A and B are shown apart, each in its own frame.
Chain A
Amino acid sequence: MKNVWLFISMLVLCQGYAAEKLSPEEEKGKSLYTLNCMACHALDKMVVGPSLVEIAHIYKGKAEGIVTWSMAPGKKRKLAIRMPPMSHVGEERLKQISSYIFKATKGMKYVKEKSKGDPYATFPKAKIQRMFMPDAGPAAIAVSLNENVHLCWDAGTCQFRYAWNGGYIDPWPVLRGNGNGLVKLKGEKFVYAKQGNPFSKGPVKFNGYRVKQGLPVFMFKADGVNFEVELSTQNSNEVTATFTTDSNKALTYTPQLSQGSWSASTGKVTDGSLSLTADQAKKFSITFKAGDK
């Protein structure tokens, strides 16, 4: 019984203490903050937006700035999303929130947070990873052929786009947020093809890929012909694409390389285009290499 009384008196004391700490204005501000702001703004660390401590630091001596900003926010931080307007809360209530922010952070010192980097950086990456890639269409796929040679396949245009050697990918610029970034290649490109399917100027249809011994066999259709492509590498400056098709007609292959060179296993090359007879078109390979021929 004694314990219960002690508990009740502590409860009363706690409530009295809390009531003393926040003015009615600040109390209102606290509940408004909980409803409207807390999901994105924590007391002392950046969540989606800056912490209350940082906000108080920015607007020290100019509290009205919090209201003005919140009514019609802009975008200040490159890596953060734009804050949605809080005009539905209203200026009066935003003032109460700002009063609460200053009270809640009283005596706290703002220390700039350091960027933490990718917490998953040390875990193995998928050898086939679809993601926003640099210098390719938005439906791109990174493929790691081995520890040293990697390539980008463009699923939009159904073509090999480029290869690089060195490390694989740093996906953190894409994954750290909502996808507003590009994968960073951890090496140097040695061959690059411009956007455009080399078999067809008309529409092409990407059909996905099979996984064969951990690597993709890409499938697509162009000009009525079904293609399958396997990619391999013999050395660090070379990638070979082996095509198998159901073509019963001659095909022309015209890669638009702006870096590196190519050669074909069969067919006839004229003015940068490879002509394949119907028979040759059933299976052939193209090798992409660094530098000129």
Chain B
Amino acid sequence: MNKAFLLFFSLLFSSAFAGYKYEEITIPVSVDPQVGGLCTMPNGNIAACFHRGEVLIYNIKTKTWKKFAEGLHEPLGIVALNDTDFMIMQRPELTLVKDTDNDGVADLYKTFYDGFGMTGNYHEFAFGPTMDKKGNFYIALNIASNGASIRPEIRGEFSEIGLPREQFYTKDWKKKKGAAGRMYSRVPYRGWVLKISPDGEMTPISSGVRSPNGLGIDADGDLFTPDNQGDWLGTSKLHHVKLDRFHGHPASLPWKKDWDGRNPLDVPVDELEKMRTKAAALFPQGILANSPTQPLLIDNDKFGPFKNQMLVGDMNFKRVLRYMKDTVNGTTQGALIPLLDGDPMRIGNNRLTFGKDGSLYVGRTKLSWAGDSGITRVVWDGKVDFDVQGIKLTKTGFKLTFTKPLKSLTAKDFKLVSYHYLYHKSYGSPRKEEKDAKITQISLSADGLSALIHLEKIEEGKVYDFTLDKVKSKDGEALAAQRMCYTLNKKK
């Protein structure tokens, strides 16, 4: 009987994601284990920064932690420059934290860039950095929430556009907050992605982000940041960040060079629509992710057969997703699909880093939102799951590739629907014009590893949402991840 129950529970808890094993990393009890940043050092050790401002280094051989630095203000990202120096994003600044006397403890906290404003509003988080091959750092600045006002003392120039500063100090903020906008950018570069050169010079890169929780650069050198469903975001997004792009949230516009002084809330949606670059991928709310986090390039072959794709975490699902980029006529788009999903993954997957051995460290946080804490190391055991390997748009539909051959594929094996989200001031959007995509033909390659799905019609500006629940490999395996959403901005 016991064996039967064991069998039952092991069946219940073994996810289709068979190839990954999970190891919980023990964190010292004195540390609030909400992880704001994770990185891998050149010597292979892992550095983590935490909610209360500590930076700890995890020795991967002895599995012990040592405190490296402390006292930082809500650090939300860390990059190791070498084995003694780190670039860390904390709320007020990008800081070079150095151990100058090589005793294993930081003794210099050098302000590297603090030229952005702060109103003291709780939602003005600062994310990043990520570093490119030339040594430039990229950071991203949250906009404020009208769930609170601003502090009496601020840092930086104040934008009076739409609501003068004194109105922010009205006793009854509830009556004024609507005029500020649900989310607002009153000090410089809130809602922007910035580049900081190795010598500390700042260049504003792109505007229109709302809550860009993490940055990552892919194999082609493209910079990505996620954004969270909310006002002006019908659903969560993955933005491809490039110079002078506007990603859609208008609050940031007053900090654009030569801005005409209009209240961004008064700019007609049509005008904003023309200005904005559509997201490289959408995370349908309640389906793939509700609060996506740091993108990370899969830079190795040791974490499954997905080298050069990107990972993206999520706060609300027990999930880390894969992003399969598809550049079509110069437009970045592509598909998202879960990679690690369900137990024993947990929610709050805020930060990711690959160890030198190709294992993935996942750091969790929650602050006051849905989430969790702690760090989990995920190791691929070399067993390849039956998975969608990649997806590309064709002139007539999609080409899907798989990690294992299929015997057959018919329209009965999966469901494909298309829909879009509204671009508007309101918070979120329902899925609009949700309809079945009419499949006219399916052809499988001779080796069974790829399939062409031909559609009657291909529409731009749509999410193509695949439910691949009956697709089976030649050996009868079900797909590890059965829900995949392709964001189609541009036809082939």
Interchain CB contact under 8 A, B147 and A82:
yes
Q: For B120, what are the chain A residues with a Cβ–Cβ distance below 8 Å?
A: 132, 137-138
B1 at the interface (CB under 8 A from A): yes
Interchain CB contact under 8 A, B147 and A81:
yes
Chain A nearest CB from B3 CB (Å) reads: 7
Known: A3-B3, A39-B370. A130 touches B90 (CB 8 A): yes
Interchain CB contact under 8 A, A120 and B91:
no
Within 8 A of B (CB), among A71-89: 75, 79-82, 84-85, 87-89
Q: For B123, what are the chain A residues with a Cβ–Cβ distance below 8 Å?
A: 178
Chain A nearest CB from B335 CB (Å) reads: 20
For the complex, what is the distance from the CA of A288 to the CA of B30, rounded to whole Å?
Answer: 35
Known: A7-B7, A39-B347, A82-B147. A138 touches B119 (CB 8 A): yes
Q: For B285, what are the chain A residues with a Cβ–Cβ distance below 8 Å?
A: 88
Interchain CB contact under 8 A, A84 and B51:
no
Interchain CB contact under 8 A, A7 and B111:
no
Known: A39-B347, A120-B32, A130-B72. A208 touches B110 (CB 8 A): yes
Q: For B427, what are the chain A residues with a Cβ–Cβ distance below 8 Å?
A: 84-85, 87
Q: How many residues on chain A are close to B (CB under 8 Å)? A: 57
Q: For B52, what are the chain A residues with a Cβ–Cβ distance below 8 Å?
A: 120, 171, 175
For the complex, what is the distance from the CA of A82 to the CA of B368, rounded to whole Å?
Answer: 10
Q: For A151, what are the chain B residues with a Cβ–Cβ distance below 8 Å?
A: none
For the complex, what is the distance from the CA of A49 to the CA of B91, rounded to whole Å?
Answer: 25
For the complex, what is the distance from the CA of A155 to the CA of B111, rounded to whole Å?
Answer: 10
A253 at the interface (CB under 8 A from B): no
Chain A nearest CB from B479 CB (Å) reads: 20
A248 at the interface (CB under 8 A from B): no
Chain A nearest CB from B65 CB (Å) reads: 14
Query: Which stretch (A21-29, A121-129, A275-283) binds chain B?
Result: A121-129
Interchain CB contact under 8 A, A195 and B51:
no
Q: Mask for B86-130, Cβ within 8 A of A = 1, else 0?
A: 000011110110000000001111110010001110110100000
Interchain CB contact under 8 A, B368 and A81:
yes
Interchain CB contact under 8 A, A175 and B51:
yes
A63 at the interface (CB under 8 A from B): no
Chain B nearest CB from A192 CB (Å) reads: 13
CB < 8 Å neighbour of A87 from B32, B74, B430: B430
Chain A nearest CB from B450 CB (Å) reads: 31
Interchain CB contact under 8 A, B347 and A208:
no
B151 at the interface (CB under 8 A from A): yes
A291 at the interface (CB under 8 A from B): no
Chain B nearest CB from A32 CB (Å) reads: 8
Q: For B429, what are the chain A residues with a Cβ–Cβ distance below 8 Å?
A: 88
Q: For A40, what are the chain B residues with a Cβ–Cβ distance below 8 Å?
A: 369-370
Q: Mask for B148-192, Cβ within 8 A of A = 1, else 0?
A: 100101110000000000000000000000000000000000000
Chain A nearest CB from B180 CB (Å) reads: 14
A108 at the interface (CB under 8 A from B): no
User: What residue of chain A has the Cβ atom nearest to residue B145's Cβ?
Assistant: A82
User: What residue of chain A has the Cβ atom nearest to residue B234's Cβ?
Assistant: A88
Within 8 A of A (CB), among B373-394: none
For the complex, what is the distance from the CA of A166 to the CA of B343, rounded to whole Å?
Answer: 48
Most buried by B among A11, A179, A211: A179
Interchain CB contact under 8 A, B368 and A139:
no
Interchain CB contact under 8 A, A84 and B229:
yes
For the complex, what is the distance from the CA of A48 to the CA of B53, rounded to whole Å?
Answer: 22
Interchain CB contact under 8 A, A180 and B118:
no
For the complex, what is the distance from the CA of A60 to the CA of B316, rounded to whole Å?
Answer: 28
Q: For A79, what are the chain B residues with a Cβ–Cβ distance below 8 Å?
A: 368
Interchain CB contact under 8 A, B110 and A207:
yes
Q: For B418, what are the chain A residues with a Cβ–Cβ distance below 8 Å?
A: none
Interchain CB contact under 8 A, A89 and B53:
no
A131 at the interface (CB under 8 A from B): yes
Interchain CB contact under 8 A, B286 and A89:
yes
Question: Interface on B for A, CB 8 Å cutoff?
Answer: 1, 3-5, 7-8, 30, 32, 51-54, 70-74, 90-93, 95-96, 106-111, 114, 118-120, 122-123, 125, 145, 147-148, 151, 153-155, 229-230, 285-287, 290, 315-317, 347, 366-371, 426-431
Q: List 13 A-B contacts (CB under 8 A).
A: A35-B286, A40-B369, A84-B229, A126-B70, A130-B53, A136-B153, A137-B153, A138-B91, A139-B91, A139-B92, A156-B153, A208-B96, A208-B110
Can you name 8 extra interface pairs (CB under 8 A) apart from A88-B430, A127-B71?
Answer: A47-B370, A80-B368, A85-B426, A88-B286, A132-B120, A138-B153, A179-B91, A208-B108
